[in-house]
Amino acid sequence: MEKLAKIYVAGSGGLVGSALVRKLREDKYEDIVELASHEIDLRDYSAVEAFFTAARPDYVFLAAAKVGGIYANSTRPAEFIYDNLLIETNVIHAAHKWNVKKLLFLGSSCIYPKLAPQPIKEEYLLTGELEPTNEAYAIAKIAGIKMCQAYRKQYGCNFIAVMPTNLYGIYDNFDLTTSHVLPALINKFHDAVQNKLDSVTVWGSGKPRRELLYVDDLADACVFLMNSYNESPIVNIGTGRDISIAELAELIAGITGFRGTIVYDQTKPDGTPVKLLDVSKLADMGWAAKTSLQEGIKKTYEWFKSEKACARI
Q: Is 214 a catalytic residue?
A: no
Integer Cα distance of 216 and 291 in angstroms: 9
Query: What mean pLDDT is predicted for residues 20-49?
Result: 96
Among the listed residues 185, 57, 161, 62, the one whose alpha carbon sits nearest the alpha carbon of residue 109: 161
Residue 13 makes CB contacts below 8 A (sequence gap 6+) with 34, 36, 37
Q: Taking residues 131-159, what's their average pLDDT?
A: 97
Residues in the chain: 313
pTM across the whole model:
0.93
CA 281, CA 263: separation in Å to the nearest integer? Answer: 39
Q: How confident is the model at residue 310 (pLDDT cuts 50, 70, 90)?
A: low
pLDDT at 313 over 60: no
Percent of the chain with pLDDT over 70: 98
Eight-class DSSP state of 195: T
pLDDT reading at 110 higher than 70: yes
CA distances from 276 to 192, 209, 237, 292 (A): 30, 8, 11, 16
- Is 58 part of a structural domain of the chain? yes
Structural domain contains residue 66: yes
Q: Is residue 72 part of a domain?
A: yes
| Torsion sign over Cα 190, 191, 197, 203 | negative
d(CA 7, CA 32): 5
Q: Tell which residue, 288, 277, 304, has the closest CA to residue 15.
A: 304
What pLDDT sits at residue 271?
78
- Where does the pLDDT of residue 309 fall: very low under 50, low under 70, confident under 90, or very high at 90 and above? low
Q: Is the peptide bond before 164 cis (omega within 30 degrees of 0)?
A: no
Q: Starting from the edge strand earliest in sequence, which strands make up the sheet with 235-237, in order?
A: 31-33, 6-10, 59-62, 102-106, 159-164, 235-237
| Domain limits for position 78 | 6-172+212-241+275-291
H/E stretch holding 254: helix 245-256
In this prediction, residue 311 carries a pLDDT of 37
**DSSP symbols for 206-247:** S--EE-EEEHHHHHHHHHHHHHH---SS-EEES-S--EEHHH
Q: Nearest 5°: phi and psi at 196? A: 55, 45
**Under 8 Å CB-to-CB from 104, ≥6 apart: which residues?**
60, 61, 62, 159, 160, 161, 162, 222, 225, 226
Q: What are phi and psi of 109, to 5 degrees?
A: -65, -20
Does residue 70 register a pLDDT over 80?
Answer: no
- Do the domain assignments include residue 180? no
Pick 38 or 23 by higher pLDDT.
23
In a domain, 203, yes or no: no
Q: What share of the chain has pLDDT > 90, as a percent?
A: 87
Choose the catalytic residue: 137, 168, 214, 301.
137
Please state which of the ranges 55-59, 129-133, 160-164, 250-254 shows the lowest mean pLDDT: 129-133
The domain that holds 117 is classified in CATH as 3.40.50.720
- The phi and psi torsions of 217 (rounded to 5 degrees) equal -70, -40
Closest CA to 25 of 48, 9, 49, 44: 9
Would you say residue 222 lies in a domain? yes
Query: pLDDT for 260-297, tens place per residue?
Result: 999 999 999 887 788 899 999 999 999 999 999 999 99
pLDDT (mean) for 44-48 = 97
Looking at the domain assignment, is residue 105 inside a domain?
Answer: yes
- Provide the CB-side half-sphere exposure for 95 (13 A, CA): 32
pLDDT exceeds 50 at position 89: yes
Q: Write the single-letter amino acid at 28.
A: K
206-238 pLDDT, tens digit per residue, is 999 999 999 999 999 999 999 999 999 999 999
Could you tell me if 62 and 100 are in contact, meaning their C-beta atoms sit under 8 angstroms apart?
A: no
**pLDDT per residue as tens digits for the range 175-196:** 887 788 999 999 999 999 999 9
Q: What pLDDT, on the 0 to 100 scale, is given for residue 260?
A: 97
Overall number of domains in the chain: 1
Query: Is 56 domain-assigned?
Result: yes
Does the pLDDT value for residue 312 go beyond 60?
A: no
Residue 31: per-residue pLDDT: 98
